[in-house]
Amino acid sequence: MRRRDVLKLAGASGLGIGSGVAFVGCGAPEREYHIQSPVDIPEDTITGLDTWYASICQDSGDGCGVIVRVKSGRARKIEGNPDYPLNRGKSSARAQAALQTLYNPDRIPNPMVPRQRRGSGRYRFMRWDDVLPEFQEELSAAQDGGIVMITEPVNGHLGMILERFTQNIGARWLTYEPLEQAAVRQASAQVFGTTRVPQFDVAHTDYVLSIGGAFLEGGDSPVHYGRAYGHFRQGEGRSRGTFAHFDTHLTMTAANADEWHPVNPGTEGILALSIAHAVLDGGTVPPALRPLTGGEGTFAAYAAENVADITGVPADVIESVAHDFAAAPTAVAMGGGSAAGHTNGLFNMTAVFALNLLKENVGRQGGVLLNAPSPLPDIPADTPVTSFQEWEAFLSEIDRGQVPQVLLIHGANPVFGLPGVLNAANILGEIPYIVSFSNVLDETTALADLILPDHHYLESWGSSVPPVGAEYSTLGIQQPVVRPYHQEFEGAAGTRAFADVLLGLAQTIGGSLAEALPWESMRDAIRASVDELQARGDGSVTSDDPEAFWISVLQRGGWWIPAESVPANEPDLTGVALAEPDFSSAAQDYPYHLIVTPSVLLGDGSGSLAASPWLQSTADPMTTGVWSTWIALNPKTMETLGIAENDIVRITSVAGSLLAPAYPYPGIGEGVVSVPLGQGHSQLGRYAENRGENALRILAPVVQEQTGALAWSATRVRIARTGRRTRLPRIEGITAPVQMPDEQTFQITNETH
């Protein structure tokens, strides 16, 4: 009852006794109650209309389709594009956080050159008009092969432009991938006949066997696999799928499995073959698998009881998993994670992928589906990745005096990611002219003599061919959804799209370069491709009017067409025989395996994700740690070493050491240490600088022989206490939460239906 009603009552009774008439009708007029309800949340009111633009998320190279809410000229919210085949309206924490890399207070607003000397840390803002001629001169002056371009692995139009640009200007193009997936790609090539790792049809399969595969948190589109996983568990019209996982430690993906079993580092391939042995149950090995198993005779060595000791997986577990795998109507075997980072990573991955051959999986629903090709032949779905071996060779060439004249860098941060012993910063620093296109000051950009800041991807044009997608042949279009935050004004300052700078250079340099890259801007290049698609007259958008087609494609976020299923290739497993893992150093000096784990939020630290306070402050799913690096140790190991939670611990490899607080992690073996990646930046702005440690730095430069990749799981370390303590910032309380037996917060049932 409101006071007003009380007054009315009082007034009415007042009337009865002949007084107090003045009460009636006094008080606020009724409509004023609606001016602002004092018990309405302001969010209850409606404000104006939003504009939504479709584009592509480029934060992890997976290229999810996004739609961006724009209001008053600013991007306000990012959602998944509901139409886009890869992610169907869903998104990831990283995609959400793109707002903070877009409106990062530490973005480089203008072209810059260092004051005094390189690396002084102080810069002078420049005008594009002033710096571009000099830049062009340097490029022209460089001899053939004197230009080196370093980028992240890219696809789509940028991939095409970079390929043509480097080819025609005579530059060497290196791509940098910190945790190389070469073993996965080559294993895919050998088993499935394509380096594009196929789509494992998790959504429709009955059984997922994953050996190291961290498909829910990294790899090829966690959003795609997240959707598939949801359907796999409780999708309508299907029974609940079963999921078994083997890995050296309990990753987020492993935590979602129905059963997780630890496996000794580097023995994943043996485990896979043992499962194969149990699946075949003494039967003959299919011919395709013979090179892998070493023929029929040695196959018996993989019987479960024979490998239990080596792999650390009990024989009955191997047999029961094999039984489930064999019995399931459909099943997929996935691999990846640290298993692919051993010296025998190729063997491991090939053995795991080969399990799919036992189920005759390829091309089947609920099996392994080969990815649809890019809809346009000259727009690549992937670009070759420079192996670690090539990087080593490149650096030692410079070290020996073969110094290139010009280095161009975009999107890659090798100074941060390459093992510290390679001394990349100093060696790259010998190159006389370094130009970076980064829009944040990262460790590699800090070497640059000229910084030509790129737009953020939400401000620029681009395209993407999704890394996974068998159902559709897709070209995603990335369009600028907002004007550049640091806008160019009469050529004076602001940021400028990397591709547009290259295309502009191509036009001024002319010759074959200009012919290969005939467009004035990325927008023109994309428009040309879209016109090609329009001419096809089929797919997700059709129109006779090129202009209408163009607009519709932009509105939809791209163009796609249902793909015919790609026929299976003959597997060719020759040359991938059993291999024991090698490690960086002897077990007696360095008793623990170091497993570096990309952060679910910050990735491997190579991009600028660490500059987002949202990602920094969002709990790591397993430890809930934020803003920092920790060392995950088995509680028993900690006990043995006399280490308490939050004690600062030093781990030392042959290549270096790092300090971080210990976190008691129940899901890791006693001989394994896991350190999350993503932190340890010395640059990258206020939110990322000088926090945590970069474990990539202390990786030993051990090479996978067959792929030339860095064996990033091969490093062994020793652990030492420092006697110092700290408090790891984390979201869980001061003690790990536990449940009461009687009233469980988290409830479980064993009924699957």
Pairwise CA distance, residues 602 & 519, whole Å:
35
* Closest CB 646 distance from other proteins, rounded Å: 10
CB of 445 to other proteins, least distance (A): 19
Contact at 8 Å (CB) between 439 and 411? no
Place of tokens 């990745």: 385
Site for other proteins in 629-648 (CB under 8 A): 634-636
**Neighbour tally for 30: CB within 10 Å:** 8
Return the range that interacts with other proteins (CB under 8 A); candidates 15-23, 91-99, 268-276, 298-306.
91-99
**Interface with ligand SF4, residue 208, by CB under 6 A:** no
Piece of the chain touching ligand SF4 by CB under 6 A; list 88-96, 198-206, 447-455, 546-554: 88-96
Could you give the dihedral angle defined by the CA atoms of residues 663, 668, 673 and 678, in that order, rounded to the nearest 10 degrees? -70
Q: Characterize 632-642 residue by residue with b for buried, 16 or more Cβ atoms within 10 angstroms of its Cβ, and e for exposed.
A: bbbbebbeeee
Region of 90-98, 188-196, 205-213, 268-276 interacting with other proteins (CB under 8 A): 90-98
Cβ atoms 214, 461 nearer than 8 A: no
Q: Which residues of 112-140 are buried (b: 16+ CB within 10 A; e: fewer)?
A: bbbeeeeeeeebeebbbeebbeebeebbe
CA distance 283 to 277: 8
* DSSP per-residue codes, 261-283: EE--TT-HHHHHHHHHHHHHTT-
Does 27 contact other proteins by CB under 8 A? yes
Residues 591-650 that bind ligand SF4 (CB under 6 A): none
Residue 448: strand, helix, or coil: coil
Binders of other proteins among residues 31 to 60 (CB under 8 A) are 32-33, 37-47
Report how far residue 235's alpha carbon sits from residue 252's, in angstroms, rounded to the nearest whole number.
21
SS3 563: coil
CA-wise closest residue to 187 among 331, 333, 351, 342: 351
Point out which span in 116-124, 529-537, 582-590, 728-736 binds other proteins (CB under 8 A): 728-736
The residues with which 245 forms a beta bridge, in sequence order, are 210, 260
Query: Smallest gap, in angstroms, from Cβ of residue 677 to other proteins?
Result: 16
Name the residue nearer to ligand SF4 (CB basis): 11 or 558: 558
Among positions 381-400, residues that touch other proteins (CB under 8 A) are none
Residue of 290, 691, 718, 721 that binds other proteins (CB under 8 A):
691
The DSSP call for residue 422 is G
Give the residue, chosen from 92, 608, 612, 706, that forms a contact with ligand SF4 under the rule CB under 6 A. 92
Of 54, 68, 70, 95, the one binding ligand SF4 by CB under 6 A: 95
Contact partner at residue 102 from other proteins, ligand SF4, none, CB < 5 to 8 Å by partner kind? other proteins
Query: Whole-angstrom Cα distance, residue 267 to residue 50?
Result: 54
Quick check: 270 binds ligand SF4 (CB under 6 A)?
Answer: no
Name which of residues 48 to 87 contact ligand SF4 (CB under 6 A). Answer: 57, 59-60, 62-64
Q: Which is nearer to ligand SF4, 571 or 625 (CB)?
A: 625
For ligand SF4, the binding residue among 11, 54, 84, 94 (CB under 6 A) is 94
667 binds, among ligand SF4, other proteins, none (CB under 5 to 8 A by kind): other proteins
Q: Is 50 exposed, middle or buried (0-12, 13-18, 19+ CB in 10 A)?
A: exposed
Write the burial class of residue 297 (CB in 10 Å: 0-12 exposed, 13-18 middle, 19+ buried). exposed
Q: Which residue from 55, 58, 81, 87 is in contact with other proteins, where contact means CB under 8 A?
A: 87
- Rounded least distance, CB 224 to other proteins, Å: 8
200 bridge partner residues: 368
The answer to the question of residue 222 lying near ligand SF4 (CB under 6 A) is yes
- 59 touches which of other proteins, ligand SF4, none (CB within 5 to 8 A by kind)? ligand SF4
- Tell me, residue by residue from 613 to 632, as one string, x for binding to other proteins by CB under 8 A and - for no binding: xxxxxxx-xx-x-xxx----
DSSP-based three-state secondary structure for 247? strand
Query: Which residues, 194 to 223, sit near other proteins by CB under 8 A?
Result: 216-217, 222-223
Alpha-carbon separation of residue 435 from 139, 360, 386, 425, 448 (angstroms): 10, 50, 20, 14, 5
Which residues inside 97-156 make contact with other proteins, applying CB under 8 A? 97, 99-100, 102-105, 107
Q: How far is the CB of 93 from ligand SF4 (least distance, A)?
A: 7
Residues in the chain: 753
Rounded to 5°, the CA angle 609-615-617 comes to 140
Candidate ranges 110-118, 139-147, 249-257, 462-470; the one touching other proteins (CB under 8 A): 249-257
With CB under 6 A as the contact rule, which of the stretches 90-98, 194-202, 256-264, 481-489 interacts with ligand SF4? 90-98
- Candidates 53, 54, 70, 91: give the one binding ligand SF4 (CB under 6 A): 91
Residue 598 within binding range of other proteins, rule CB under 8 A: no
The stretch among 3-11, 424-432, 435-443, 503-511 that binds other proteins (CB under 8 A) is: 3-11
- Chain residues that interact with ligand SF4, rule: CB under 6 A: 57, 59-60, 62-64, 91-92, 94-95, 221-223
